[in-house]
């Protein structure tokens, strides 16, 4: 979900939280602790990196973006999920066709 | 404005659960996110938000910082956490049994009277708890050090593992005579339950003394007849 949120471009922490909420249709609500635990792991695995830092209203805002490895991982995972979804939909349509 | 200051102070206190080096780099950023995510008028962190920050902070303290490619080190760290978990289970079992005076009779081999046992029990309990807390703390410390790539931690934990194994072996000697782990053939062996119920002890064996029977039951062992020690 976090990688998907960054697929459009660099985002800061709060931006990722709101984006994940939108992507999931309000079903996933990331909390700050969970988010920064995940960001730390993704940075350690070199899937994301810090893009830039800004000070807004006296507060630090750090932007993250996907690395080439992160982009590839997200693309591979999306393709895998799409393949699974296609098979599931095809079989469901087949089952529906047989039933009628 | 006061609400904001109160909330920020409360969040700073929760962020103290995180390691210092992580806080130095990320505290301001996380605070900005927490404050942006808080509804207007909120003065205290919510329960779920607090639990999330504490859980994440603890995880950041315990997680290995070596890269994922160092698989043997990560496996060693996991084993050390398993060691801490086993020690914790040991402590829980100890706390569950510690109130039973009969256990002291079993451990001290009936050398003390009940009055003497009650006198030494506080000291005994304290020593037992400390004896079990130390390995938990050492396992966690070793796991943290090993996760940060300290090679000495692996050597120390190997020694600790050897000591824990010896400790486990010696623990069998503390069990009441005739326990299922007792290798001596001339003491108690579990008797078929039917014989016990029928009150017909086997030839060459005597019924278990009532007090020893209750000790064995307290220790979760089968209280069958005990053979005479030759």
Domain count within chain B: 3
Q: Are residues B121 and B93 in the same domain?
A: yes
Q: Which of B12, B45, B62 is the last residue of a domain?
A: B62
Please state, in angstroms and rounded to a whole number, the distance separating the CA atoms of residues B57 and B36.
20
Q: Are residues B104 and B156 in the same domain?
A: yes
Range of the domain at B13: 2-62
CB hemisphere CA count around B109 (13 angstroms): 4
Q: Are residues B159 and B180 in the same domain?
A: no
- Give residue limits of the domains in chain A: 2-99
DSSP B117-183: HHHHHHHHHHHHHHHHHHHHHHHHHHHHHHHTT-HHHHHHHHHHHHHHHHHHHHHHHHSPTT-TT--
What residues in B contact A59, CB-CB < 8 Å? 28, 31-32, 35
3-state secondary structure of A65: strand
Please state, in angstroms and rounded to a whole number, the distance separating the CA atoms of residues B187 and B112.
22
The A48-56 sheet, strands edge to edge: A11-12, A59-66, A48-56
Q: Are residues B211 and B136 in the same domain?
A: no
Q: Are residues B162 and B97 in the same domain?
A: yes
Mean predicted confidence (pLDDT) in B176-191: 48
Mean predicted confidence (pLDDT) in B121-144: 80
Q: Is the dihedral of CA B107, B109, B111, B115 positive or negative?
A: positive
User: Given an 8 Å threshold on Cβ–Cβ distance, is B30 in contact with A36?
Assistant: yes
> In the numeric block, which tokens belong to residue B163?
């000591």
Question: How much of chain A exceeds pLDDT 90, in percent?
Answer: 38
> In the numeric block, which tokens belong to residue B175?
């069990």
For residues B165 and A72, which has the higher predicted lDDT (pLDDT)?
A72
User: In this predicted structure, what is the pLDDT of residue B171?
Assistant: 62
Close Cβ partners of B22 (under 8 Å, ≥ 6 residues apart) = A40, B60
User: In this predicted structure, what is the pLDDT of residue B99?
Assistant: 62
Per CATH, the number for A2-99 is: 1.10.10.10
Q: Are residues B13 and B50 in the same domain?
A: yes
Is residue B230 within 8 Å of B184, Cβ to Cβ? no
Q: Are residues B166 and B211 in the same domain?
A: no
Across the interface, of A37, A56, A61, the residue whose CB is closest to B59 is A37
Give the lowest-confidence range in B66-70, B95-99, B128-132, B201-205.
B201-205
User: In this predicted structure, what is the pLDDT of residue B201?
Assistant: 39
* Cβ neighbours, 10 Å, residue A11: 21
What pLDDT digit, counting tens, does each position of B41-87 carry? Answer: 788 888 888 999 999 998 888 777 666 667 787 788 888 888 888 88
Close Cβ partners of A7 (under 8 Å, ≥ 6 residues apart) = A66, A71, A74
Q: Are residues B179 and B169 in the same domain?
A: no
Q: Are residues B156 and B195 in the same domain?
A: no
Question: How much of chain B exceeds pLDDT 70, in percent?
Answer: 58
User: Given an 8 Å threshold on Cβ–Cβ distance, is A36 in contact with B55?
Assistant: no
Q: Are residues B136 and B153 in the same domain?
A: yes
Across the interface, of A12, A33, A59, the residue whose CB is closest to B56 is A33
Please state, in angstroms and rounded to a whole number, the distance separating the CA atoms of residues A25 and A14.
17
Q: Are residues B138 and B95 in the same domain?
A: yes
How does B76-95 read in b/e, with b if 16+ C-beta sit within 10 Å?
bbeebbebbeebeebbeeee
Q: Are residues B76 and B129 in the same domain?
A: yes
- DSSP code for A18: H
pTM of the model: 0.57
């Amino acid at each position: 979900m976090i990688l998907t949120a960054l697929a459009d471009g660099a985002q800061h922490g709060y931006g990722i939280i709101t984006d994940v909420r939108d992507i999931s249709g309000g079903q996933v609500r990331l909390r700050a602790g969970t988010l920064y635990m995940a960001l730390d792991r993704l940075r350690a695995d070199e899937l994301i990196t810090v893009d830039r830092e800004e000070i807004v209203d006296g507060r630090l805002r750090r932007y993250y973006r996907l690395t080439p490895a992160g982009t590839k991982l997200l693309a591979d995972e999306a393709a895998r999920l799409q393949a699974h979804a296609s098979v599931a939909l095809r079989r469901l349509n087949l089952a529906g066709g047989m039933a009628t | 404005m006061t609400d904001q200051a109160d909330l920020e102070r409360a969040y700073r206190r929760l962020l103290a659960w995180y390691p210092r080096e992580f806080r130095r780099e990320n505290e301001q950023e996380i605070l900005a996110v927490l404050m942006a995510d808080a509804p207007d008028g909120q003065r205290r962190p919510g329960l779920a938000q607090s639990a999330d920050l504490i859980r994440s902070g603890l995880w950041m303290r315990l997680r290995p910082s070596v890269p994922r490619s160092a698989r043997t080190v990560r496996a060693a760290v996991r084993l050390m956490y398993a060691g801490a978990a086993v020690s914790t289970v040991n402590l829980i079992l100890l706390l569950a049994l510690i109130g039973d005076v009969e256990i002291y009779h079993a451990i001290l081999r009936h050398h003390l009277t009940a009055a003497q046992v009650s006198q030494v029990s506080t000291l005994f309990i304290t020593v037992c708890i400390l004896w079990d807390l130390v390995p938990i703390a050492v396992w966690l410390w070793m796991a943290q050090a090993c996760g940060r790539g300290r090679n000495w931690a692996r050597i120390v934990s190997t020694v600790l593992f050897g000591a824990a194994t010896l400790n486990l072996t010696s623990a069998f000697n503390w069990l009441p005579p005739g326990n299922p782990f007792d290798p001596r053939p001339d003491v108690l062996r579990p008797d078929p339950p039917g014989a016990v119920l029928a009150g017909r002890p086997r030839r060459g064996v005597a019924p278990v003394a009532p007090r020893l029977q209750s000790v064995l039951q307290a220790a979760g062992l089968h209280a069958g007849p005990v053979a005479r020690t030759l």
